[in-house]
């Protein structure tokens, strides 16, 4: 029997939203789920025990960055990524494909591979499909990603078609290179905001029969409306009996809208990045804690949040920490934001189980001040 099992526990009667359970070698993941990003084997500023305390089930780490420092060979020698970072739950590693987009100025792309000039010291790092898989096998994550080309949203149709075909060819090479049966290799559907290219990508990847499928190339410059429309086209192309992962998308409203379109897995740096920059996510919308109006506010960040930060500290105190550049401020807001995302996903799961997701969506969009 495979180490991975995905089962649907409930489906929405009025739409494609699903409530699932994904069994992995390092534990069970209740879906839909949000994965905090631990790029360099740490979710910035937070200990694994703090993540567990607020309900984090699974985290993400970055192939490109870990290949540079400390090196996948060293991590393997030290017992693998789980032991290295003291996280015993499931881990997903990306392939380095997003860095083809984000570090385009430092990379050279060919049909065979991508060569990066390290943003740290200028050293060369070659990532072929085979090398990307080998690095991820050394890291030992539960879920690994095919190397793909993530094109910018504003590229012309023909240029994105080339990225789709390159991604398909690389996916075949990744599948052929994989040697570990205890890692689920996901194919990545590309195609920008072009419906015909999303269909072209999905059809080719489905023939390779991956255990899960990701949708990449969104949140790279397109509007939210374009992203939602692209999901409307793309999600129905993917198997119903395998997990569906929307890569790098993380505003709370985007998570809710994507779940309503049938997505199961998410990741994004927003909870911790925005937390470090004095923004807290709440059930009533985002709060910029440096705002003067919070100077004497003894209330919690979010009255509807049960996280340790909201239970112990006031908005006034948290503002003070940021105003005096105290390190504890970014740590606490990051912790709260990660907790809020976990609570939001738990509420979404409960709404699907109760078959009231559309009611939940309307109520939550109104609370955030978004147009339903």
Which sequence positions are flagged as catalytic?
94, 267
Nearest to 217 by CA among 154, 287, 293, 305: 154
Phi, then psi, of 127 in degrees rounded to 5: -125, 105
Q: How many CB atoms lie within 10 A of CB 278?
A: 19
Distance of alpha carbon 49 from alpha carbon 85, whole angstroms: 11
Distance of alpha carbon 142 from alpha carbon 145, whole angstroms: 10
Over its C-alpha atoms, the chain yields an Rg (Å, rounded) of 20
Q: How many CB atoms lie within 10 A of CB 261?
A: 21
Q: Where are the alpha helices (DSSP H) in the chain?
A: 48-53, 63-68, 72-77, 81-85, 97-102, 129-139, 157-177, 195-206, 224-234, 252-259, 270-276, 308-312, 315-323, 328-353, 357-368
Instruction: Give the CA distances from residue 110 to residues 95, 113, 187, in Å, rounded to whole numbers and listed in that order.
Output: 16, 5, 20
Phi, then psi, of 266 in degrees rounded to 5: -140, 155
Distance of alpha carbon 218 from alpha carbon 249, whole angstroms: 7
**DSSP reduced 3-state for 27:** strand
CB 145 within 8 A of CB 93: yes
Instruction: Give the CA distances from residue 297 to residues 12, 32, 271, 326, 334, in Å, rounded to whole numbers and listed in that order.
Output: 40, 34, 22, 19, 20
């Amino acid at each position: 029997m495979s180490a991975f099992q995905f089962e649907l526990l409930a489906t929405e009667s009025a739409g494609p939203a699903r409530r699932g359970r994904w069994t992995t070698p390092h534990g069970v993941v209740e879906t839909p789920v949000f994965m905090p990003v631990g790029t360099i084997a740490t979710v910035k500023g937070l200990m694994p025990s703090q993540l567990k305390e607020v309900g984090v089930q699974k985290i993400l780490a970055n192939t490109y960055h870990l290949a540079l420092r400390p090196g996948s060979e060293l991590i393997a020698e030290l017992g693998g990524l789980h032991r290295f970072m003291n996280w015993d739950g499931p881990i997903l590693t990306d392939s380095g494909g997003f860095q083809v987009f984000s570090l385009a100025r430092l990379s050279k792309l060919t049909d065979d591979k991508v060569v990066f000039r390290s943003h740290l010291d200028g050293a060369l790092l070659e990532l072929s499909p085979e090398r990307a898989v080998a690095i991820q096998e050394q890291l030992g994550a539960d879920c690994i990603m095919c190397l793909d080309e993530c094109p910018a949203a504003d590229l012309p149709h023909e240029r994105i078609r080339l990225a789709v075909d390159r991604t398909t060819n690389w996916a075949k090479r990744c599948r052929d290179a994989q040697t570990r049966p205890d890692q689920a290799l996901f194919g990545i559907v590309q195609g920008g905001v072009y419906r015909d290219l999303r269909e072209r990508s999905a059809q080719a990847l489905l023939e390779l029969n991956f255990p899960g499928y990701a949708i990449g190339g969104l949140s790279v410059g397109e509007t939210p409306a374009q992203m939602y429309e692209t999901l409307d086209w793309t999600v129905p192309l993917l198997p119903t009996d395998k997990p569906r992962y929307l890569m790098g998308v993380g505003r709370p409203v985007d998570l809710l809208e994507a779940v309503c379109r049938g997505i199961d897995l998410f990741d994004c740096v927003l909870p911790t990045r925005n937390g470090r920059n004095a923004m807290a996510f709440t059930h009533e919308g985002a709060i910029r804690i440096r705002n003067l109006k919070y100077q004497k506010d003894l209330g919690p960040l979010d009255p509807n949040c049960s996280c340790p930060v909201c239970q112990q500290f006031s908005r006034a105190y948290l503002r003070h920490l940021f105003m005096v550049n105290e390190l504890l401020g970014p740590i606490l807001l990051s912790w709260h934001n990660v907790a809020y995302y976990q609570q939001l996903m738990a509420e979404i799961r409960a709404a699907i189980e109760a078959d009231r997701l559309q009611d939940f969506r309307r109520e939550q969009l109104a609370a955030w001040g978004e147009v339903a």
